[in-house]
Structure formats: C-alpha cells, structure tokens
Amino acid sequence: MVDVPELVAQAREGRPRAVARLISLVEGASPQLREVMAALAPLAGNAYVVGLTGSPGVGKSTSTSALVSAYRRAGKRVGVLAVDPSSPFSGGALLGDRVRMSDHASDPGVYIRSMATRGHLGGLAWAAPQAIRVLDAAGCEVILVETVGVGQSEVEIASQADTSVVLLAPGMGDGIQAAKAGILEIGDLYVVNKADRDGADATARELNHMLGLGESRGPGDWRPPIVKTVAARGEGIEEVLQALEKHHAWMAEHGVLAERRRARAAREVETIAVTALRERIGSLHGDRRLDALAQRIVDGELDPYAAADELVAGLTESA
Ligand SMILES: Nc1nc2c(ncn2[C@@H]2O[C@H](COP(=O)(O)OP(=O)(O)O)[C@@H](O)[C@H]2O)c(=O)[nH]1
Ligand SMILES: [Mg+2]
C-alpha cells in the first residue's frame, strides 16, 4: 500500500518521482485511486490547461517544447501530458517527443509525462483528466496536453482543455482535412506551423476563409486568431503565448472558463458513473435478479425497458 498523504505532500513540493507515482496509480486504475483523487480534490483547479492537437508531424511536440521554454521564461511551472490514443504502444510516436522534450529534462519547474491508452478511447477520456488533476495539484500553473489528431479523439481532448490549439502545416492537405474532422469547431486558436515552407500564407488564408464561413459571432465573442510559427526555430511562439493569455483572460471575463470546467467535470462524473454501472451490470450475468427479470419477460409479464429500469434501480439501491 502506498502512503497517499505522504505522496501528495511530496508531489506538492514538486518532487517528480512522487508526481510520477501518482500518475501511475491513476493510469493503472489502482485500488487506491479513490483515495488519491479525494486527497487531490481540494488542491486542484488552479492550472490553465491548454490542448494541442493536429495531424502527426505537424509540429505539436516541437511547439509544445518551445511553449514550455516561453512559459518558463515567464516564470511559470509547466506540466506536459503527451497522449497518443492511436498507438497501442507506449513508445513509438512518443519516443521522438522525448528527444524534443529533453531540453527540459533537468528543469525542476517542468514535468513531462507520456500516456498511451492502448487503443481504448474510453480509457483516455477517463485517465487523462485524472492525470491533469495530478499535475494541477502538484503546482503546475500551465498544463500542455499534446494529442495526435485522430478524428473523434481530438474532439475528446479538446473537451478536456480550457483552450484548444489546432495546428496545421502547409502542404499536408490539412485545410480540407480540418473541415472534415470538424476541427474548425474546436479551435480557440489556430497555428500554421512550418511557416518557413511554401504555402503557409495560402494555408492561413484558406483557414481564415473557412473560419469566416460559419461565422455568426456577436460583438465581444471570441474570434479564433491564426498565428504563423516556425516552431523548430521558436519563431512566433511568443505570439502563440500571448494569444493563449488573451483567450484565458477573455474566458475568465465572460464566465466561459467556469462554464467549460463545469461541463468538463460533469462529463467526467458521467464517464465514471457509466463505467461503474457497466461493470456492475457486466458482473450480473448469471445473477438471479437478472434471471428472474428475464423469466418475467419470457412469460410476457414485463417488457425489456421496464425490466432494465428495475435492474438499474436495484443496482443503485444496493450500492
Ligand atoms: N521546416 C520545419 N520543420 C519543423 C517545424 N516544426 C517542427 N518541424 C519538424 O517536423 C517534424 C515533426 O515535428 P513534431 O514536433 O514531432 O510533430 P508532431 O508529430 O506533431 O508532434 C520534426 O522533424 C520537426 O523537426 C517548422 O517550423 N519548420
Ligand atoms: Mg508529437
């Protein structure tokens, strides 16, 4: 058994091993998970969570690393969570990221963690917010969450961030892909990276046009800015940081930040509750309550909907 209060105290002091241990407890769905989350609850809620998404190779890790440097210069403690929902392996795509992140390896003000979800999207929805909470409680003021864009999962990740950054690059056919993936609805900020390459202006123009098409904004509404960067050289990163700070301030001013966090917490509770319920129902196969209900359906005494209601009611009562 892990001494949770001690571990949390050490994480609060910024000890990386304690943070790593806590995230492992979360990832592994440890029996002590509930104790961990209860201990963290009063400590979390201070971090600004930024999600970065986009196709593989667009420059998310390079941008993340450059943003870490920029935030460090601003004196902020930073956490990085690299999530790869597409990969069943924990290495692979994330390996290159480690190299890109190695600049920050010796900086005690930065905590970096990779997470692979072994193909389970539901696992991501469930584990990532808990890992974010660990980093938050450990005193990270900014948490950057990098996800490989694979359709639905990036929308899911976007729903876990305060601000969503969508990255594109010229010549990747990203414009059309973006529209398809519904990416135009999730970005609070768009970055056209690899601006050192031909076509960056065209990509930015196309994006600007597409963003304008669906426009029905009123005065005071947020208009997602488009920033061009050369992340590999750190160019434009300061502008990205400024745009992030602006969006953060705008959200705080208009109650959007609180609203997003409530919606996020609600979804989290929903996910946990549904998972718990499903587990209980799953373990009911061969249970005599289920057998009895099934018999009544066969006998024409009960319809399956009424039986399901009865089953769910019974499950929550016995909890
Ligand atoms: N030319 C150019 N290459 C870049 C730029 N930013 C990143 N790259 C390169 O693009 C490749 C993919 O970058 P990476 O950050 O791993 O992309 P990710 O898969 O989205 O995380 C790497 O070889 C980077 O060095 C840039 O601004 N310009
Ligand atoms: Mg990457």
* 57 pocket-lining for ligand 1 (C-beta < 6 Å): yes
Please report which ligand is nearest the Cα atom of 62: 1
- The most confident of 57-61, 140-144, 148-152, by mean pLDDT: 140-144
> Sheet of 226-228: strands edge to edge?
110-116, 78-84, 142-148, 48-54, 163-168, 189-192, 226-228
Tell the CATH superfamily of the 44-253 domain. Answer: P-loop containing nucleotide triphosphate hydrolases (3.40.50.300)
Query: Is the confidence at residue 178, as pLDDT, over 90?
Result: no
Burial class (CB in 10 A: 0-12, 13-18, 19+), 262: exposed
pLDDT score at 95: 46
Angle CA 239–241–242, to nearest 5: 65
Comparing CA positions, the residue from 136, 161, 159 lying closest to residue 22 is: 136
pLDDT (average), residues 77-88? 75
Pick from 25-34, 64-73, 293-302: least confident: 25-34
Comparing CA positions, the residue from 43, 32, 46 lying closest to residue 8 is: 43
Mean predicted lDDT score pLDDT of the chain:
83
Sign of the alpha-carbon torsion through 239, 245, 250, 255: positive
pLDDT score at 153: 54
Query: Is the confidence at residue 120, as pLDDT, over 60?
Result: no
- Would you kindly state where each structural domain of the chain is located, as residue ranges? 1-42, 44-253, 269-317
Q: Tell me the CA–centroid distance for residue 43 and ligand 1, in Å.
A: 35
Residue nearest to atom 13 of ligand 1 (CA): 59
Helical (H) or strand (E) element with 156: helix 152-158
Q: Tell me the CA–centroid distance for residue 25 and ligand 2, in Å.
A: 24
Angle CA 110–114–182, to nearest 5: 105
Whether the CB-CB separation of 147 and 53 falls below 8 Å is answered with yes
- The most confident of 135-139, 218-222, 311-315, by mean pLDDT: 135-139
Q: Tell me the CA–centroid distance for residue 176 and ligand 1, in Å.
A: 20
Query: Is the confidence at residue 91, as pLDDT, over 80?
Result: no
Whether the CB-CB separation of 126 and 159 falls below 8 Å is answered with no
Banded model confidence at residue 88, pLDDT cuts 50, 70, 90? very low
Q: What is the rounded distance in angstroms from the CA atom of residue 34 to the CA atom of residue 252?
A: 30
- The most confident of 73-87, 140-154, 223-237, by mean pLDDT: 223-237
Q: Are strands 142-148 and 189-192 parallel, antiparallel or unpaired?
A: unpaired
Comparing CA positions, the residue from 37, 27, 114, 40 lying closest to residue 79 is: 114
Please report the beta strands in 12-160, taking only residues with DSSP state E, as ranges in sequence order: 48-54, 78-84, 110-116, 142-148
pTM of the model: 0.86
pLDDT score at 119: 46
pLDDT score at 155: 53
Query: Is the confidence at residue 67, as pLDDT, over 70?
Result: yes
Banded model confidence at residue 118, pLDDT cuts 50, 70, 90? low
Q: What is the rounded distance in angstroms from the CA atom of residue 88 to the CA atom of residue 231?
A: 28
Q: What is the rounded distance in angstroms from the CA atom of residue 19 to the CA atom of residue 119?
A: 24
